[in-house]
Amino acid sequence: MRAAAAAGLLLLAGCAGFRGFEPATPDGYDGPTVNVADEVVQIDAGLVHVFEMTQIDGRRLLSTSVATLNANRGRGFAETPVAMSNEVPPRPARVRLQAVTQYAAPLLAMTHPTCQVQGDVAFTPEAGHRYRVAGRIAAAECAAWIEDAATGRPVTEAVSGKGTGP
């Protein structure tokens, strides 16, 4: 019983410091913006690969993985992705990218290959361009980067880590 009470207090303490999600543009900004879209690849009815931007200049963004999780609660082994995008100012920024496997049910994640890699990269979007977070999830490596949506050319370094293989 004491362990449960202690865990509850720790959870509440963590929530007290939680700022919630913030917009991609800073408070008071009303200038031009460019679009950066997260990418979702539906592998099967219960698995999606998500490539997303989760922070910009320290502001925590509502991301595709969180939106998908919230939209699919209680649906069992089925998952329909909810792809997000953000409008960002065309100026240098520090962004956190993530590549993650997302299963419809936690049990599937415990018994199937998973990937979660994240890291910060420099990003300088240009006015008049559209961008997407791209990546790959494979046995050898999981990675994410931002690319120009029209050309497919990477515009940031990739964040990468351990793949889904043994």
What is the tens place of the pLDDT at every residue in 88-120? Answer: 999 999 999 999 999 888 778 788 889 999 999
128 belongs to a structural domain: yes
Among residues 55, 72, 62, the alpha carbon closest in space to that of 144 is found at 55
13 belongs to a structural domain: no
14 belongs to a structural domain: no
Confidence of residue 17 (pLDDT cuts 50, 70, 90): very low
88 belongs to a structural domain: yes
142 belongs to a structural domain: yes
Q: Which domain holds residue 122?
A: 21-162
Region 64-68: what's the mean pLDDT? Answer: 89
10 belongs to a structural domain: no
- Between residues 26 and 160, the one the model is more confident about: 160
Q: How far apart are the first and last CA of the chain?
A: 39
pLDDT at 160 > cutoff 90: yes
Number of domains making up the chain: 1
84 belongs to a structural domain: yes
Confidence of residue 15 (pLDDT cuts 50, 70, 90): very low
Return the percentage of the chain with pLDDT > 70, whole number. Answer: 88
Length of the chain as a residue count: 166
7 belongs to a structural domain: no
Please tell me the distance from the alpha carbon of residue 143 to that of residue 101, in angstroms, as a whole number: 11
- Between residues 6 and 130, the one the model is more confident about: 130
pLDDT at 11 > cutoff 70: no
